[in-house]
Amino acid sequence: MSRNALSLLLMVAITGQALAAPRYNFGRVPTPEEIAGWDIDVRPDGAGLPPGQGSVKQGQEVYANACAACHGDKGEGKRVEGAAP
Ligand code: HEC
């Protein structure tokens, strides 16, 4: 057998093995509802976000009151006693 034919045979054998779906005999196929619940990606343009309301100014107030204590005035981060590193 030529070297090329041997390489081809080896590639087909390896690819065939990789394509065979493994069976682990546990778990189940998720329902479409479960998948929808996990599909929570939000894109940079805001697509995927739930309907919302408010303005940048209101958001700044919320951030200053509820987030800045740990995340810093500009989101630069801060060491906080008792918080995860
Ligand atoms: C008590 C301190 C504290 C407050 C208050 C706080 N955070 Fe955090 N936040 C943390 C810590 C600590 C982490 C990192 C958690 C981790 O990595 O497990 C974190 C992580 C995050 C992350 C994830 C960042 C990443 O890189 O994945 C976001 C987003 C975030 N906070 C937003 C907010 C917002 C918005 C608010 C205000 C509504 C807020 N946080 C208030 C302490 C705080």
pLDDT at 83 over 80: no
**Residue in the structure block whose two tokens are 């204590």:** 69
pTM above 0.75, yes or no: no
Ligand 1 contact via 68 beta carbon (within 6 Å): no
With beta carbons less than 8 A apart as the criterion, state whether 40 and 48 touch. Answer: yes
How confident is the model over 25-64, as pLDDT tens digits? 899 999 999 999 998 899 999 898 888 899 999 999 999 9
Mean pLDDT (whole number) for 2-25: 67
Q: Whose CA is nearest to atom 6 of ligand 1?
A: 67
Counting DSSP H helices and E strands in the chain, the numbers are 4, 0
With beta carbons less than 8 A apart as the criterion, state whether 54 and 44 touch. Answer: no
Q: Where are the domains of the chain?
A: 55-80
Ligand 1 contact via 47 beta carbon (within 6 Å): no
Q: How far is the CA of 54 from the centre of ligand 1 (A)?
A: 20
pLDDT for res 69: 93
Instruction: Single out the residue of 41, 42, 65, 62 nearest to residue 53, CA to CA.
Output: 62
Ligand 1 atom with the shortest distance to the CA of 83:
12
pLDDT for res 45: 93
d(CA 11, CA 8): 5
